[in-house]
């Protein structure tokens, strides 16, 4: 995948004129190279706001732009309430974007009418955090998995059953044992397998995984992540993987996008971002990954304070209230997403690691790579 020529990119910086969004959010110009040729999903200046009491607005997602290339896994990370799930939901218009564009496979989802959206949406599927809530407790597994085919009347009943059998087997469940049971008879991990089987029934191009393993036991997390990787390879999927656990994201993602309080902080290839984080928030997030070795030196103090309210986000850089390096400029100006290297983008006035004036903080980024608590590559052993 090469960095695209801006003129041919589906939504390049050149064609994307800055548009003032509602709530006074002026869409910043996008750095060249942010969007790629042949990206299967392009999110451009996405803004999602919800009405709050007394005429105020919750700024859930503010001017977020990124794309997902065909066949890649993009990890979207950030702490709870940073808008990462809302971003995922706004892409398929479950939450209505306030402004901005979402282009999927050449179709602008944000411009579609209800019926066209209903059709286009089948090729983007969602996997939810709570595996049990995502399955109807009153329906049998065979009906749950067959539902997408039943909705669209695809195939004969016999063909449908065969496809359901294949899908349930593919996600590692015994069809004959599972088909006639109801979700409450399964564990969380098994329910998530059923969800994955269901999501694959409509031959989706993109699967948005909204914290698919956060509700699972750590041992089961690895199994589900393995399964997602397998399914991705087998069905040629593109994944948008939303999670708050950086260790999980690192193992599965080709690129990582870090969000904080509705804004994109940093975007780049996983290994690069983990090895040399440029945004102070990314540094703090990486430092929060638990270190398996209790004797290991921890040279970064965790960031102080709580995440500010998205109803009244800080001016300028939204991370400035907790950033150890914040200066006057961070209050005055919203830092635009800027290229700091090939495929590396950061929204910070004083990015770390690459520019290097702040070696003290840079040491955090160059610290030994945190060992992920989950060894995804190791096949789990059956007890």
Should residue 1 be labelled a site residue for other proteins when binding is judged by CB under 8 A? no
- Segment interacting with other proteins (CB under 8 A) among 185-193, 316-324, 333-341, 362-370: 185-193
Q: Among residue numbers 127 through 156, which ones bind other proteins (CB under 8 A)?
A: 128-130, 132-139, 147-148, 151-152
Q: Given the complex with other proteins, which of 303 and 376 has the nearer CB atom?
A: 376
Q: Among residue numbers 222 through 241, which ones bind other proteins (CB under 8 A)?
A: 223, 226-227, 230, 233-234
Could you say which of 178, 240, 246, 258 contacts other proteins (CB under 8 A)? 178
- Minimum CB–partner distance for residue 75 and other proteins (Å): 21
Q: Given the complex with other proteins, which of 152 and 360 has the nearer CB atom?
A: 152
- Minimum CB–partner distance for residue 81 and other proteins (Å): 18
Should residue 74 be labelled a site residue for other proteins when binding is judged by CB under 8 A? no
Q: Among residue numbers 2 through 41, which ones bind other proteins (CB under 8 A)?
A: none
* HEC sequence for the chain: CCECCCCCCCCCCCCCCCCECHHHCECCCCCCCCCECCEEEEEEEEEEEEECCCCCEEEEEEEEEEEEECCCEEEEECCCCCCHHHHHHHHCCCCCCCEEEEEECCEEHHHCCHHHHHHHHHHEEEECCCCCCCCCCCCCHHHHHHHHHHHHCCCCHHHHHHHHHHHHHHCCCCHHHHCCCCHHHCCHHHHHHHHHHHHHCCCCCEEEEECCCCCCCHHHHHHHHHHHHHHHHHHCCEEEEEECCHHHHHHHCCEEEEEECCEEEEEEEHHHHHHCCCCHHHHHHHHCCCCCCCCCCCCCCCCCCCCCCCCCCCCCCCCCCCCCCCCHHHHHCCCCCEEEECCEEECCCCCCCCCCCCHHHHHHHCCCCCCCCCCCCCCCCCC
- Minimum CB–partner distance for residue 57 and other proteins (Å): 20
- Segment interacting with other proteins (CB under 8 A) among 29-37, 122-130, 277-285, 315-323: 122-130
- Minimum CB–partner distance for residue 130 and other proteins (Å): 6
Q: Given the complex with other proteins, which of 198 and 276 has the nearer CB atom?
A: 198
- Segment interacting with other proteins (CB under 8 A) among 26-34, 217-225, 325-333, 364-372: 217-225
Give contact residues for other proteins (rule: CB under 8 A): 92, 94, 118-119, 121-122, 124-126, 128-130, 132-139, 147-148, 151-152, 169-174, 177-178, 183-185, 187, 189-190, 193, 195, 198, 202, 219-220, 223, 226-227, 230, 233-234, 379-380, 382-383
């Amino acid at each position: 995948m090469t960095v695209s020529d801006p003129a041919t990119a589906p939504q390049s910086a050149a064609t994307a004129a800055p548009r003032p969004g509602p709530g006074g959010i002026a869409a910043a110009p996008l750095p060249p190279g942010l969007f790629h040729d042949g990206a299967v999903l392009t999110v451009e200046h996405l803004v999602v706001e919800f009405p709050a009491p007394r005429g105020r607005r919750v700024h859930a997602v503010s001017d977020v732009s990124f794309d997902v290339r065909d066949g890649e896994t993009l990890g979207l990370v950030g702490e709870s309430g940073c808008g990462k799930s809302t971003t995922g939901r706004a892409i398929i218009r479950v939450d209505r974007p306030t402004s901005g564009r979402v282009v999927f496979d050449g179709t602008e989802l944000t411009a579609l009418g209800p019926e066209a959206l209903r059709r286009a949406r089948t090729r983007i599927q969602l996997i939810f955090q709570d595996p049990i809530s995502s399955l109807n407790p009153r329906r049998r597994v065979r009906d749950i998995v067959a539902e997408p085919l039943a909705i669209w009347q695809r195939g004969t009943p016999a063909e449908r059953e065969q496809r359901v059998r294949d899908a349930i087997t593919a996600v590692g469940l015994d069809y004959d044992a599972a088909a006639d049971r109801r979700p409450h008879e399964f564990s969380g991990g098994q329910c998530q397998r059923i969800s994955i089987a269901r999501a694959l029934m409509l031959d989706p191009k993109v699967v948005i995984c909204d914290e698919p393993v956060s509700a699972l036991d750590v041992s089961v997390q690895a199994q589900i992540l393995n399964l997602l990787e397998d399914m991705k390879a087998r069905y040629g999927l593109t994944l948008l993987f939303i999670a708050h656990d950086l260790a999980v994201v690192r193992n599965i993602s080709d690129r990582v996008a870090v969000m904080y309080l509705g804004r994109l902080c940093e975007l780049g290839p996983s290994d690069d971002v983990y090895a040399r984080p440029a945004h102070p928030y990314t540094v703090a997030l990486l430092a929060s990954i638990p270190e398996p070795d209790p004797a290991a030196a921890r040279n970064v103090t965790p960031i102080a304070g709580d995440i500010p309210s998205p109803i009244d986000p800080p001016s300028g850089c939204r991370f400035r209230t907790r950033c150890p390096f914040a200066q006057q400029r961070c209050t005055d100006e919203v830092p635009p997403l800027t290229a700091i290297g090939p495929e590396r983008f950061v929204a910070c006035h004083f990015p770390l690691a690459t520019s290097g004036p702040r070696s003290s903080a840079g040491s955090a980024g160059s610290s030994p790579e945190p060992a992920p608590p989950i060894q995804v590559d190791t096949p789990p052993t059956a007890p």
